[in-house]
Amino acid sequence: MSKGRLRWRKFVSNFMLAMTGVCAFVSVLVLFFILGYLLFNGGTSINWDFFTKLPKPVGEAGGGMANAIVGSGKILLLASLMGVPIGFLGGIYLAEFSGKGMASVVRYAADLLNGVPSIVIGIFAYSLVVLPFKHFSALAGAFALGIMMIPITLRSTEEFLKNVPRMLREAAMALGASKWKTIVTVIVPAAYRGIMTAILLALARVAGETAPLLFTAFGNRFESHGWSQPTATLPVMIYTYAVSPYDDWHRQAWAAGLVLLGLVLIINILARTILSRGIAVPRS
Amino acid sequence: MATTTTTLKGAGPVSGSRSFFLKLRDGDEIARLVTLVFATTVVLITAALVWELWVNSALPRQKFGFHFFVTSVWDPIMDQFGALPFIYGTMVTSAVALLVAVPLGIGAAIFLAELAPPRVSDTLQFFIDLLAAVPSVIYGLLGVFIVVPLMRTVIYPALNKPFGYLPIFKGPSYGVGFMTAGIVLAIMVIPYIISVSREVLLSVPRDQREAALALGSTRWESTWKVVVPFAKTGIMGSIFLALARALGETMAVTMVIGNTPKIAASLFAPGYSIAAVIANEFTEATGDLYLQSLIALGLVLFLLTFILNGLARILIVLTTQKGSEVGG
Amino acid sequence: MKRIVGLAVGVLALCALVLADNALLINGAGATFPYPIYSKWFDVYHTKNPNFQFNYQSVGSGAGIKQVTEGTVDFGATDGPMNDDQLKTFQDKHNGTGILHFPTVLGADVPTYNIPGVTGALNFTPEALAGIFLGKVTKWNDPAIAGSNKGVNLPAADIIVVHRSDGSGTTYIWTDYLSKVSDEWKTKVGKGTSVNWPSGIGGKGNEGVMGSVKTTPNAIGYVELIYAVQNNIPYGSVRNSSGNFVKADLASVTAAAAGAAKEMPDDFRVSITNAPGNKAYPISSFTWLLIPQKFQDGGKRDAIKGFLQWMLNDGQNSVEALSYAKLPKEVVEKEKKAINNIQ
């Protein structure tokens, strides 16, 4: 092979590999760009008012998103209470009790549910919760988000439970514990970290969802009380303010975006660091 | 007390119902039943979802039949509903997204899997995972305030002036449109392509690379001509996953696509996607046919993502299995 | 794990208990056209009557009509009056009881535009407007526009049409006007809250259209007057049926309603676009609150009746500051009597 040809191939190799490096760094840079841009535009609007005041009438400057922050919190709490037990207990079933047939049916259903676009889940929640009760509500929004939390929680619970070493189970049974006792006192605590991580990740995912809330929680200019009233939420407020023509609303949208992104990123980082520290299994 | 279940079951003939109640007495059976109920709930919810979608989209099926998919008129006044503009918009924006995201994503994945030392690779992957977690409404925000002006001031002039005679680059600059939505979607799906492609590339056995290098190939050649083709099906899977995500994306798209139910050849023209029209018109669809047509669109979207996700899963599993079979 | 669950449930119960206070929440949804004045009214009314909270969501007249018909909100709002089919649908869903229209303010749709270098008010003929929105007049320096604007430097740029993507009363007013002045528009497109637009991009709500026009060079859109005023965006004059180019303001909108005030039908549904009168602004309109005739909840009924009374007396005093015109006296008197029809 001629030297020239070899040099060319080497050049191509170095060039292309450098390009892949560029691709990787560009992709990562996007994340920092987003963060930086939000900080720059929204940072100045984050003040005490933003967290404590209610929105002002259209065209008037000032006001905050207190009701949206509380609303998002309420809905996320209720969504977790709905989705996590179903996913968690269902995952226990898959890992500990089920036969092959039932297991594949449940897994398949969960995967299907996971792939449903969030707007379609919103349609489902509207038909099931909003229409029969004849009002938009935090409950409907939580229902939609809760459904979205189920698949992640289910699959992860099953995964982490299955990963618990056999010796733990066998040791428990040798000591005379029944199956359910083993699960409750030994296996679940051993898989605890992983399951917590999954729940946190599921929470982070639905915290940013807007589409399913559009026709379930709807919106509210005031604080909403209880669970059956329309509720303001951060993502929907961001959407409403962003497409408006008012500069003051734009600033608030940036601030809200920063708060939301910050929340989601913190939960993600927390979850991943918990997981990377490993599952609490005693080494023999 | 409860551990004697195994011996009880084996001990002598007990009639069916009596053994059930005996089993019920001990915690295991209760635990099994309780968790079974919850597991079944998952199946029930999914079934209810599909059923609701099907039943509540009966009217357009009856009235339009197959024509629903090929009509491009969306006229609420005349009660004429056709899904074509939305299917078109969904496909075009996803295609643009993939066109941008796939080269970038695979390139980044190659870097992370082949070149970067493990610590660097893991750290960068960590950040890519965070990118995947950014809420879509935030992408919408950025789309409206950054990508749209960028499109108007930089990208449109760069493409329209020299290539404006081509049908895909014709027409005035709206700022919003198919291409803008495609670009925003591309940023959103890159993390999926990177994470999955990186996984499958890492699962390619070392022998493959080493054999190529031993035969005198450069690193790039061994990567591009041996490793990547080996992981080809898995990478396809990652693309399908990304596509499924792009199809269902609602908020970011509706903020930058222009909300116009029309089919246009130009990428700079405004359009509409299935998810966007549902988000915009669902709460105001007066009349059952209108509402059910929107739900029918939802069903179409659901089926599309369902098929793509299924295919993706199969492809990814096939690749990682192949890797472990061939050995390494 | 159990402790966490217990804690969460406790917090939830506490929330529901503590936060459930005695303020009555009345939910409404609908038109974006009057949203600036409604949000001001509801804010002021809440300050005067802290035990009533009127939560109004500006989602477009179409959604307002739909949601009040479904019963998911207590009242609706629209600038395109409900047609007979929609009224019948409401009755069918509510055991034969109907829904009432209550005019609240007078407003105007204005053609607002963003042409680099043009800061003044352009003159638009009905033909020009119809042509632009039909997609036939495609450039700003087209004779149809330039003819009425001698001396203005109009660029040879493509016109970007911005219309509503959601079901809108503002659209109803605009298309109602265009149907009256252009036969081609009437046959090709028609009037309604959602039409099959020949060209242009869609924005969500008056807010979305204003936002799009504001950021897109060479764009034109139609918005309620206050949106253009609040955002300092130029808007044009329109030639009325007497041949005069009139700009939308309190006087010209009030003039448009003068005829209708005397002949207001009992159900208050009336169109005043292209109204006669030298000084009348041709794209004016009433906007209505949609109140169901019968309420299950006595508290909500009384709250709404109280608000309507306040709106017709004190409320009218704050509308002009936001560029809406007051209701004519005759209409106010008629409405006060009609409030008694709400049971």
Looking at residues C293-322, what average pLDDT do you find?
92
Looking at residues A203-208, what average pLDDT do you find?
90
Of C165, C196, C201, the CB nearest to B280: C165
The torsion angles phi and psi of A101, rounded to 5 degrees, stand at: -60, -55
Fold of B84-322: MetI-like fold (1.10.3720)
Tokens linked to B185: 């979607």
ipTM for this prediction: 0.84
pLDDT of residue B6: 47
**Interchain CB contact of C216 with A (< 8 Å):** no
Query: How many angstroms separate the CA atoms of A129 and B306, rounded?
Result: 24
User: ∠ at Cα B201 (B198, B204), nearest 5°?
Assistant: 150
Contact A110 B127 (CB under 8 A): no
| Confidence category of residue C6, pLDDT binned at 50, 70, 90 | low
pLDDT of residue B22: 64
Say yes or no to pLDDT of C92 above 70.
yes
Q: Name the nearest CA neighbour of B142 among A33, A47, A267, C203.
A: A33
Contact A229 C25 (CB under 8 A): yes
**A224 within 8 A of A231, measured Cβ to Cβ:** yes
pLDDT of residue B84: 92
Of chain C, the end-to-end C-alpha distance in Å amounts to 52
In what order do the strands lie in the sheet containing C245-246? C123-124, C237-239, C245-246
Q: What is the pLDDT along chain B (328 residues), one digit of tens a residue?
A: 444 444 444 444 555 556 666 665 667 888 888 889 999 999 999 999 999 999 999 988 888 888 888 888 888 777 888 899 999 999 999 999 999 999 999 999 999 998 889 999 999 999 998 998 899 899 998 998 899 999 988 998 888 888 888 888 888 888 899 999 999 999 999 999 999 899 889 888 888 889 998 998 888 888 899 898 988 888 888 898 888 888 988 989 998 998 999 898 899 999 999 999 998 888 888 778 888 999 999 999 998 888 888 888 888 888 777 777 765 4
Say yes or no to pLDDT of C255 above 70.
yes
DSSP assignment of C105-158 = EEEEEEEEEE-TT--SPPEE-HHHHHHHHHT---BTT-HHHHTT-TT----SPB
For residue C244, the distance in angstroms to the closest alpha carbon of chain B comes to 33
pLDDT of residue C15: 57
Which residues does chain C have within 8 Å of residue B281's beta carbon, measured at their own beta carbons? 166-167, 194
Residue of A nearest to C205 (CA): A244
**Interchain CB contact of A89 with B (< 8 Å):** yes
What are the residue ranges of helices labelled H in chain C? 2-18, 35-48, 61-70, 84-93, 126-134, 143-146, 169-181, 183-188, 205-215, 225-230, 250-262, 298-313, 329-338
**Interchain CB contact of B85 with C (< 8 Å):** no
Query: How many angstroms separate the CA atoms of C204 and C208, rounded?
Result: 5
Of C21, C207, C231, the CB nearest to A243: C207
What are the residue ranges of helices labelled H in B152-262? 156-163, 178-202, 206-214, 219-222, 228-230, 232-248, 251-256
pLDDT of residue A281: 39
Average pLDDT value for chain C: 89
Of chain B, the end-to-end C-alpha distance in Å amounts to 49
Looking at residues C16-37, what average pLDDT do you find?
78
pLDDT tens readout for residues C54-72: 999 988 898 899 999 988 8
Query: How many angstroms separate the CA atoms of C121 and C148, rounded?
Result: 11
Residue of A nearest to B134 (CA): A261
**A146 within 8 A of A82, measured Cβ to Cβ:** yes
**Interchain CB contact of B181 with C (< 8 Å):** no
Residue of C nearest to B258 (CA): C201
Say yes or no to pLDDT of C114 above 90.
yes
The fraction of chain C above a pLDDT of 70, given in percent, is 94
Q: What is the number of CB-based contacts under 8 A between chain A and chain B?
A: 266
Residue of C nearest to B283 (CA): C63
Domain ranges within chain B, ordered by starting residue: 16-55, 84-322
| Confidence category of residue C7, pLDDT binned at 50, 70, 90 | low
Which range of A278-282, B61-65, C280-284 scores highest in mean pLDDT? It is C280-284
Rg (CA), chain A: 24
Contact A178 B26 (CB under 8 A): yes
pLDDT of residue A144: 95
Looking at residues A197-214, what average pLDDT do you find?
90
Tokens linked to B239: 């693309």
